[in-house]
Structure 1
Amino acid sequence: MNWDDIRVFLAVARAESLTGAGKTLRLDAATIGRRIARLEARLGAELFVKSPQGYVLSSVGEELLPAAEAAEAALSVPLAGGQGQAGLSGTVRIGAPDGCANYLLPQVCAAIRADNPDLDIQILALPRVVNLSKREADLAITVSPPDAGRLLVQKITDYHLHLAMRADLTPPDDLAKARDHAVVGYIPDMIFDKELDYLGLLGRGRVQMASNSVAVQLQMLRQGGIGFVHDFALPFAPELRIVLKDDISLKRAFYLVRHEQDRRSDRLGRLVEALSAGLRAEVARLEAEAAARCF
């Protein structure tokens, strides 16, 4: 199989449709279909099971996928550069939950780029888990380590959350009184990770103001109410203060996830080290600033 065959096969496998693959490759669906048909004819086997719902890998396609991904990794240079410790270049896409993407990654990535001006960084902020198997991103930051797939996972750092509300409002004396305030939080049926399910600790099933976005929740709290906030986000909302810090505190963690086949990439490994160190430092800096703002 040549490189053109590999990229067409991978595009269809990841998009599970000719139309989706066509958008990735900038080709029309009919052309993609003909290319897949010719590839299957040359291999003498069907690579996909076709149905009205899309294209799903056949058993032969499943066997071919790891080799195709390995070839992709060998033929692509996502972080080009010279030998040794030359600066990083090319494009890298980092997927992250929107709290991390909004309040941590911009500063961390700016610092990395200052040392590597030829590097282009894309931040994919999603209120769901980033799908690395479909190459939505080169790296992903998650709040739970994945338990499936050919992935490398490493813990980056712990972070903390506390209840917060506007500084001009009277803070509750205890958790029982906190329940008298309107609650701000996630839309219950859109919580995509169990680590984001905080409000059970308040003994409240009702969320009066809800969003699937951490950034929107922060803006809601600026209008009133009470809710859990990442300590590292509080410096971006000077109207808010931590309340009941001694009564309730949450600790979660960020994990960095990448493709297993990237293990031997020295350049990507250097980026992972810089990204992890930067995130640890930025969480520590912002949490220290937030600690001074408690009722």
Structure 2
Amino acid sequence: MANSRNPISENGNRLRWDDARVFLAIARSGSLSGAAAALGLGLATVSRQIERLEAALGLTLFSRHQTGYRLTDDGEALLERAEALEQAAEAFAEGSAAQAGIAGRVRLATAETLANHVIIPALPMLSTRYRDLTLEVVTDVQSVNLHRRDADLAVRLVKPQRGNVTIRRLGRIGFGLYASRSHAAERRDDVRFEHDRFITWCESHSHLPAAQWIERVLRGRAPALMTTTLSAQLSAVVAGVGVAVLPHFLGRQNGLACLRADIGLDQEIWLALHSDLARSRRVRAVAEFLAELIHGSRNLLETPPTT
């Protein structure tokens, strides 16, 4: 009787469950080196395991190119089944650790402003609930792809339009035009802002709604300062360099003067998580914590200062 712990393929070779994990890592990264880095394995180990899997299946799963590895038709056909295996393995691991409660690492991608001023200050509450949970916060959201599993879940100001993700609206974040109190007291009463010095985004970020709004207001005039981060713009406003479009909660927290509260730039806050992780206990725990946090901060995030 054959040993049932490792199934045998049609050509008689024994399959190893761990090889499916390597297959998925190569498919997602497009290279052996990317898969090795993601799994914490050596390059030779990854190469040996994928060759072993192809031999066991009697199939060529990837076509090798100078630019990387691409799935063959046979590889594409097995991708969904491999992802189902991965999900089952995660569920098994979580089930075995159920008595220990929520544990493990969850990778969250979000905007730096939300991370620094909303999420991270509230993390002691999450740590109190789940002492064995580790949260990894990634703020370089331009390079994060949930479908590739660069992160487990994300809190974003732009609604994801595609990919194998589950989406949930959490709330809204309000934006206005702000200046320091001293700068506001000295500026002219100019409803068209023709005499104001603006702080805006560098050209690499010109697609952002705030950058486009300021460009329309300037009508060809040069700004006073251009930056690549909102935190730099906040520092410049506090220093009196000029005026900038900022979230209302940052204006309130820093005692800034709101020159115009409604500029039509309010944005929805979206929670997105990879659909394969929708049943992960630790990912769900973080998702629910974030939903509670954003909902409880609605007044702070949405409304401008009263004075």
TM-score normalized by the length of structure 2: 0.81
Displacement of 1:103 after TM fit? 1.4
1:147 and 2:161 matched: yes
- How far residue 130 of structure 1 moved from its aligned partner, in angstroms, is 2.5
- Give me the whole-angstrom Cα distance separating, in 1, the residues matched to 2:180 and 2:280: 47
Name which of 75, 90, 113 aligns with 2:127: 113
Kindly report which structure 2 residues correspond to 1:233-248, keeping only aligned pairs within 5 A, or say none. 233-238=250-255, 240-245=256-261, 248=263
* Cα separation, partners in 2 of 1:212 and 1:219, compared to 1, 3 Å: same
CA separation of 1:63/1:167 partners in 2, compared to 1, >3 Å: closer, same or farther? farther
For the 8 Å contact 2:176–2:261, the answer to whether it is kept is yes
Aligned pairs (5 A) from 1:62-211 = 62-76=76-90, 82=98, 87-128=101-142, 130-169=144-183, 170-177=186-193, 179-190=194-205, 197-200=212-215, 202-204=217-219, 207-211=223-227
Map 1:33-48 onto structure 2 (within 5 A): 33-48=47-62
CA contact (8 A) 2:149 2:274 kept: no
The number of aligned residues is 287
Q: Residues 273-284 of structure 1 correspond to what in structure 2 (within 5 A)?
A: 273-284=288-299
Aligned to 1:60: 74
CA distance 1:13–1:268, shift in 2 (3 Å): same
Q: For residues 155 and 196 of structure 1, what CA distance do their matches in structure 2 show?
A: 24
How far apart, in 2, do the equivalents of 1:72 and 1:152 lie? 18
Deviation at 1:24, TM superposition (A): 2.0
Q: How large is the RMSD of aligned CA atoms in angstroms? A: 2.8
Question: What letter matches 1:212 in structure 2?
Answer: T
Moved more, 255-264 or 71-80: 71-80
Shift of 1:279: 1.7
1:231 matched to 2:248: yes
Task: Work out whether residues 107 and 152 of structure 2, in 8 Å CA contact, stay in contact via their aligned partners in 1.
Answer: yes
SS at match of 2:131: coil
Is the 8 Å Cα contact of residues 164 and 275 (structure 2) preserved in structure 1?
A: yes
Which blocks of at least 5 consecutive residues in structure 2 are unaligned? 1-14
Following TM superposition, by how much is the alpha carbon of 1:117 offset from its aligned partner in structure 2, in angstroms?
1.9
Query: Matches of 1:195 and 1:220 in 2, distance apart?
Result: 16
The C-alpha deviation readout for 1:139-159, integer Å capped at 9, x for no partner, is 111112212111100101011
CA-CA distance at 1:235 after TM superposition: 4.2
**Aligned amino acid, residue 104 of structure 2:** G
> Which protein has the larger Cα radius of gyration, Structure 1 or Structure 2?
2
**Structure 1 vs Structure 2: percent identity of aligned residues?**
29
TM-score (norm 1): 0.84
- Contact in 2 for aligned 1:144/1:193 (Cα 8 Å): no
Give deviations 1:175-198, integer Å, cap 9, x for gaps.
422x43332222233357668754
Q: 1:193 to 1:88 in 2, by over 3 A?
A: farther
SS of the aligned residue for 1:243 comes to strand
Give the letter for the 2:238 counterpart. R
Q: 1:37 to 1:251 in 2, by over 3 A?
A: same
Distance 2:203 2:237 in 1: 17
